[in-house]
Amino acid sequence: MTQIEIIKALSDNYIYVLHNPINKQTAVIDPGEAQPVIELLEKKDWKLSHIFNTHHHEDHIGGNQKLIDKYNCKLIAPKYDQNKIHNCDHYVLDGDEIDMIGKKLKFFTHLATLSVTYVITLRA
């Protein structure tokens, strides 16, 4: 079963961490800062495999580079932010799906709000 941790970050944000104990993959969504993510990963003995960004605001991407440098993880972000979110391994469009942490993730982009929604199925 996928484990989900929620980290309070900055003054009014949350960072979501998803871990699959079977395949040992761990993903983080919108790491506005890296240190609380690193602390959780070390406490749980998890290794970060993926970062997902919903949009380019600093309070959602501020920890990206430090986490990439430390864990050599993959970065996935909305294609319309390709000029604002750098070092991305895969840009997603509306309706794209990928398999990650043993789950299927489907992406819904919202051009009006300039963000992307991740829908994660609970089945492999």
What are the tens digits of pLDDT across the range 62-110? 999 999 999 999 999 988 889 999 899 999 888 888 877 777 777 776 6
**What type of residue sits at position 20?**
N
CATH number at residue 50: 3.60.15.10
The token pair at 43 is 């406490």
| CA distances from residue 43 to 38, 40, 70, 78, 104 in whole angstroms, order as listed | 8, 5, 16, 30, 27
* Any domain includes 82: yes
Other Cβ atoms within 10 Å of 81 Cβ, number:
21
* Residue 119 domain-assigned (yes or no): no
Gap between the Cα atoms of 116 and 104, Å rounded: 16
Is residue 108 in a domain? no
Question: What is the reported pTM?
Answer: 0.86
Pairing status of strand 74-78 against strand 50-52: parallel
Domain total in the chain: 1
Residue numbers of the domain that contains 16: 3-92
Confidence of residue 122 (pLDDT cuts 50, 70, 90): very low
- Whether residue 123 lies inside any domain: the answer is no
32 occurs within a structural domain: yes
